């Protein structure tokens, strides 16, 4: 594996484009940037075409004989199915407003990471094969034939886009590179050209219900570890239920929260909050994944993986679904789930049993974000909170791409943080809310072998954190996304080592005064609470 350069080395970035036109500049496949190709067993599990052993560095990618035909037919099919694709192919004027909005461009200086050029990679082939002017004028009109070099370039650059949609905020026509990348990845998947970091979790999720491949007993076991820790901290024994029929609410969260720090602390937060409320809810081991790596592969696979949530809600006979903190999970739930697998007419319009609030904004999909749920609780004064327990923290909040630009969840998490922490500082407003920067590793790019790419892509976010760390002494980066919790930890270690990462519900749980709890001396991480140092 390539060694990741040191931060001072990595931050020397040259933004001067090459002398040669981009169409004439051969792509250099840098180790540390690309991810390993999908393994045959994962593609087989998913019934995807062309499963085989292959290596990125090999000349021969073992493509089917008629791969061009497959890709061009696939393109035609998608042009006829997605207005977004067709309009975005036709409308770009190359004004360049998007060019410097991509975190990968800012972090790498590679001009093909400018969203406009990423789209041109596809658009050039579109022009050559699907437009009159492109067919007649060819190269003059910016058309390119679909060669193996072009295909490999697609693969390289469509797996250097995290589908964060930041560029689409600034585009005067709303051209969304996420759509372009999705189409590009769908086409690549027709030839078995996925990356294994996506195909693996997707295959796991398909067979075992979650990306990490946690089997049912492991899920229970993992949660039991957390429950023990909760008991140690609070003295309260929590006994959640699994796959319980007749529960009022099904709780679904990304499996990352069940597996590794600091996601597990967030998960402990859910457990404590839901227990304290006495909520009639259940976990599911079958629908044990809120996230959706199928979404990073193809529309069809995304739908296949997502189907489990409604299916399980129906089987268990719950009234509505509560969703944990996750980014792309909420893009999918907000913009896709109901369309794919609805109508959810077997569920009821979500109503908080604690406050009586009816979640009108989720009346069709019947799924509520836990930040909405908790903000409502706090607004109605249903939680006893001791903010001082978080006084050792100076918190800033990272808006996740998907909840920001695919949903608009801005105030709910901030309201919660404001009510559980005394020290909250915003980052530069040009890097938050709808202008937020990606963590650098979204859309399935949180592998290990592409660490250089991840650190480059993570630079803009990390740099804004560094700014508030220096200005206000911020030492905790809160967020509402499982991938953020995993990858921002790495990115902070690399760029801003003084800052740790947390989910919002970890902060809630630390501040939450539970009925019958013992005097807490530590937070969920086992660190002494402010004023309790030396008590343990």
Partner 1 sequence: MNAILSLIAVAGLALIAYIGVSAAGLQFLFGVVVPYVALAVFLIGVISRVVKWGRTPVPFRIPTTCGQQQSFPWIKQAKFDNPSTGGGVIVRMLLEVFLFRSLFSNVKFELREGPKLAYSSAKWLWLGGLAFHWTFFIVLIRHLRLFTDPVPGFLKGIEALDGFLQVGIPGIMISGVVLLGAVTYLFLRRVLIPNVRYISLAADYFPLFLIMGVALSGILMRYVLRVDIVGVKKLTMGLMTFSPGLPEGISVVFYIHLFLVSTLFAYIPFSKIMHLGGVFLSPTRNLANNSRMVRHINPWNYPVDVHTYEEYENDFREKMKKAGIPVEKE
Pick 480 or 529: Cβ nearer partner 1: 480
Q: Tokens 């991480």 map to which residue?
A: 525
Tell me the C-alpha distance between 288 and 300, whole Å.
Answer: 19
Identify whether the C-beta of residue 329 lies closer than 8 Å to the C-beta of residue 291.
yes
**In the complex, minimum distance from the CB of residue 110 to partner 1, in angstroms, rounded to a whole number:** 11
Cis preceding linkage at 501, omega within 30: no
Nearer to partner 1, 118 or 485 (CB): 118
From the number of C-beta atoms within 10 Å of its C-beta (0-12, 13-18, 19+), residue 478 rates as buried
Half-sphere exposure of 63 (CA within 13 A, CB side): 24
Query: In the complex, what is the shortest distance from the CB of residue 315 to partner 1, in angstroms, rounded to a whole number?
Result: 6
Residue 16 in 3-state DSSP?
Answer: coil
* In the complex, least distance from residue 265 CB atom to partner 1, rounded to whole angstroms: 23
Nearer to partner 1, 243 or 521 (CB): 243
Nearer to partner 1, 253 or 334 (CB): 334
- Give min distance, CB of 520 to partner 1, in A: 29
**H-state helical runs in 24-114:** 40-45, 67-81, 83-91, 103-108
From the list 415, 419, 441, 448, the residue with the least C-alpha distance to 501 is: 441
As a whole number of angstroms, the distance between CA 438 and CA 470 comes to 21
Q: Which C-beta is closer to partner 1: that of 376 or that of 506?
A: 376
| CB nearer to partner 1: pick between 61 and 397 | 397
- Cβ distance to partner 1 smaller for residue 163 or 484: 163
- At closest approach, how far in Å is the CB of 168 from partner 1? 5
Q: Helices marked H in 401-472 — which ranges? A: 401-405, 411-420, 451-472
Q: Which residues pair with 282 in a beta bridge?
A: 250
Give yes or no for a contact between 67 and 191, defined as CB atoms under 8 angstroms apart: yes
Q: Which of 398, 494, 485 is nearest to 437 (CA)?
A: 398
Find, among 403, 393, 392, 395, the residue nearest to 465 by Cα.
395
Cβ 517 to partner 1, closest distance in Å? 26
Q: Which residues contact 397 (CB under 8 A, 6 or more apart)?
A: 413, 414, 417, 424, 426, 427, 432, 477, 478, 479
- Minimum distance, C-beta of residue 492 to partner 1, in the bound complex (Å): 15
Of residues 213 and 528, the one with the C-beta less far from partner 1: 213
- The SS3 assignment for 152 reads helix
CB of 404 to partner 1, least distance (A): 7
Edge to edge, what strands does the sheet with 500-503 contain? 395-398, 476-479, 500-503
522: number of CA atoms within 13 Å, CB side?
15
Let me know how long the chain is.
536
Least Å from the CB of residue 210 to partner 1:
11
Cα torsion angle, 51, 290, 361, 307, sign: positive
Query: Which lies closer to partner 1 via its Cβ, residue 36 or residue 330?
Result: 330
Residue number with CB closer to partner 1 (123 or 275): 123
Are the C-beta atoms of 242 and 219 separated by less than 8 Å?
Answer: yes
Find the shortest distance in angstroms from Cβ 505 to partner 1: 17
The minimum distance between CB 137 and partner 1, in angstroms, equals 8
Nearer CB in complex with partner 1: 290/460: 460
Q: If DSSP codes are grouped into helix, strand and coil, which group holds residue 18?
A: coil
Q: How far is the CB of 358 from partner 1 (least distance, A)?
A: 11
Which of 283, 251, 279 is CA-nearest to residue 353? 279
CA distances from 484 to 438, 447, 502 (A): 9, 13, 9
Per the CB < 8 A criterion, the answer to whether 292 and 221 are in contact is no
Complex with partner 1: residue 434 or 527, whichever CB lies closer: 434
Q: How far is the CB of 91 from partner 1 (least distance, A)?
A: 3
* CB-nearer residue toward partner 1: 76 or 518: 76
């Amino acid at each position: 594996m390539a060694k990741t350069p040191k931060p001072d080395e990595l931050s020397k970035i040259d933004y001067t484009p090459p002398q040669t036109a981009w169409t004439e500049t051969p792509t250099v496949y840098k180790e540390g940037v690309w991810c390993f190709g999908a393994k045959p067993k994962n593609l087989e599990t998913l019934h995807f075409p062309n499963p085989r052993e292959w290596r990125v560095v090999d000349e021969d990618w073992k493509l089917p004989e008629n791969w061009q035909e497959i890709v061009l037919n696939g393109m035609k099919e998608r042009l006829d199915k997605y207005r977004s694709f067709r309009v975005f192919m036709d409308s770009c004027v190359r004004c360049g407003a998007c060019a410097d909005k991509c975190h990968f461009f800012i972090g790498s200086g590679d001009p093909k990471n400018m969203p406009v050029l990423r789209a041109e990679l596809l658009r050039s082939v579109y022009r050559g094969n699907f437009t009159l002017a492109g067919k007649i004028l060819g190269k003059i009109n910016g058309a390119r034939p679909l060669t193996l070099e072009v295909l490999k370039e697609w693969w390289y650059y469509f797996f250097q886009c995290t589908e964060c949609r930041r560029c689409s905020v600034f585009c005067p026509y709303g051209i969304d590179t996420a759509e372009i990348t999705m189409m590009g990845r769908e086409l690549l998947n027709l030839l078995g050209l996925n990356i294994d970091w996506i195909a693996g979790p997707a295959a796991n999720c398909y067979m075992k219900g979650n990306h990490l491949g946690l089997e049912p007993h492991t899920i229970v076991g993992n949660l039991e570890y957390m429950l023990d820790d909760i008991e140690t901290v609070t003295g309260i024994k929590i006994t959640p239920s699994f796959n319980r029929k007749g529960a009022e609410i099904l709780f679904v969260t990304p499996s990352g929260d069940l597996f590794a720090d600091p996601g597990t602390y967030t998960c402990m937060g859910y457990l404590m909050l839901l227990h304290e409320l006495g909520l009639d809810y259940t976990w599911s081991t079958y629908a044990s994944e809120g996230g959706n790596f199928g979404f990073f592969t193809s529309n069809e696979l995304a739908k296949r993986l997502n189907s489990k949530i409604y299916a399980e809600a129906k089987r268990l006979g719950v009234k509505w679904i509560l969703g944990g903190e996750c980014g792309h999970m909420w893009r999918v739930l907000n913009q896709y789930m109901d369309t794919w697998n609805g109508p959810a007419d077997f569920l009821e319009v979500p109503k908080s049993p604690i406050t009586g609030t009816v979640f009108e904004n989720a009346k069709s999909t019947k799924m509520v974000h836990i930040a909405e749920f908790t903000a409502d609780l706090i607004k109605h004064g249903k939680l006893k909170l001791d903010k001082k327990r978080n006084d050792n923290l100076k918190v800033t909040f990272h808006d996740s791409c998907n909840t920001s630009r695919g949903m608009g969840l801005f105030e709910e998490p901030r309201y919660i943080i404001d009510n559980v922490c005394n020290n909250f500082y915003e980052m530069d407003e040009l890097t938050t809310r709808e202008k937020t920067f990606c963590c650098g590793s979204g859309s399935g790019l949180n592998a290990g072998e592409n660490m250089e790419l991840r650190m480059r892509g993570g630079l803009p976010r990390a740099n804004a954190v560094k700014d508030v760390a220096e200005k206000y002494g911020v030492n905790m980066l809160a967020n509402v996304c499982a991938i953020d919790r995993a990858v921002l930890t790495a990115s902070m270690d690399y760029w801003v080592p003084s800052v740790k990462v947390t989910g919002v519900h970890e902060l809630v749980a630390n501040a939450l005064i539970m009925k019958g709890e013992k005097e807490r001396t530590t937070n969920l991480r086992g660190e002494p609470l402010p004023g309790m140092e030396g008590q343990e």
